[in-house]
Amino acid sequence: MNLLSVRDVSRRFGGIQAVDNVSFDVPHGAIMAIIGPNGAGKTTLFHLISGFLRPDRGSVVFGGAEILGLMPHQIAAQGMARTFQQTRLFPKMTVLENILVGRHLHSRGGFVACMLHLPFTRREERAVREAGREILEFLGLSGQADAEAVRLSYGQQRMVELGRALACEPRVLLLDEPAAGLNMRETAEMGTLISRIRERNVTILLVEHDMSLVMDISDEIVVLSYGQKIAEDVPSAIQRDPEVIRIYLGEGDA
């Protein structure tokens, strides 16, 4: 069963066809990677799937329902979480508070209930904090809970962003270059973390330039070039695909 199906999705920016008729399926429980040279349209594709951009054509079916045309927060409510290529942490909030925002969908208190501090919002808040601490423990960041998130090292900030998305308890998690800017040790940690997230029954769709990481953890890889899908296969086959080698690995990125 496929959790996510992308069908003939296209998006144009002025003269640039950023995403051109792309289709693929993400099975339940898979780690699927999207690779491609700079400007291939990977981030645009993520924006289209998560509702931040509207496609010109196509369809995106998530968990059996069409999600195209929904607002990003509605898509998030269906169980899709994402991170951004440029870290988008909430400044002036602690690491824990950043993670707690991720619990938004799992609590209900509205404006009036929160202003009155009703008993159910108190119970809810306790549960939210407990879940937040659990995530921090999972990330190994418990010691930093009360530090301002944007003051952490870059690698730790990326971890917090990942944890925040994880706090949403998504069915599918979209990660846009989680290892960008990380050193080798941090990249390895990120790889382990992503595998451990999969064990929590989360399907993962990943954009990444670090080839060894991608080859290591992915079940299946989609290759984009100039907005078009030029290959889709298991990592070992992608590594041998002459077209991919020419277009992508041949550009000195490997």
Ligand X SMILES: Nc1ncnc2c1ncn2[C@@H]1O[C@H](COP(=O)(O)OP(=O)(O)OP(=O)(O)O)[C@@H](O)[C@H]1O
Residues in the chain: 254
Q: Is 85 in the site for Mg ion (CB under 5 A)?
A: yes
CB of 6 to other proteins, least distance (A): 18
Residues paired with 66 in a beta bridge: 61
Q: With CB cut-offs between 5 and 8 Å by kind, which of ligand X, Mg ion, other proteins, none does residue 18 bind?
A: ligand X
Identify the helix (H) or strand (E) that includes residue 74. Answer: helix 72-77
Q: Is 87 in the site for Mg ion (CB under 5 A)?
A: no
Choose the binding region for other proteins from 25-33, 161-169, 227-235, 244-252 (rule: CB under 8 A).
161-169
Q: Which residues contact 38 (CB under 8 A, 6 or more apart)?
A: none
What are the φ and ψ backbone dihedral angles of 66, each rounded to 5 degrees? -70, 130
Q: Compute the distance between CA of residue 146 and CA of residue 161 in angstroms, rounded to an integer.
A: 15
Q: Quick check: 105 and 73 in contact, CB under 8 A? A: no
Q: Quick check: 235 and 241 in contact, CB under 8 A? A: no
Q: With CB cut-offs between 5 and 8 Å by kind, which of Mg ion, ligand X, other proteins, none does residue 129 bind?
A: none
> Half-sphere exposure (CA, 13 Å, Cβ side) for 113?
12
Q: Which residues bind ligand X (CB under 6 A)?
A: 13, 16, 18, 36, 38-44, 85
Q: Is 44 in the site for Mg ion (CB under 5 A)?
A: no
Q: Is 91 in the site for other proteins (CB under 8 A)?
A: yes
Choose between 163 and 227: whose C-beta lies nearer to ligand X: 227
Residues that bind other proteins (CB under 8 A): 50, 52, 71-74, 76-77, 81-82, 84, 88-93, 97, 100-105, 107, 109-111, 114-117, 121, 124-125, 128, 164-165, 168
Residues that bind Mg ion (CB under 5 A): 42-43, 85
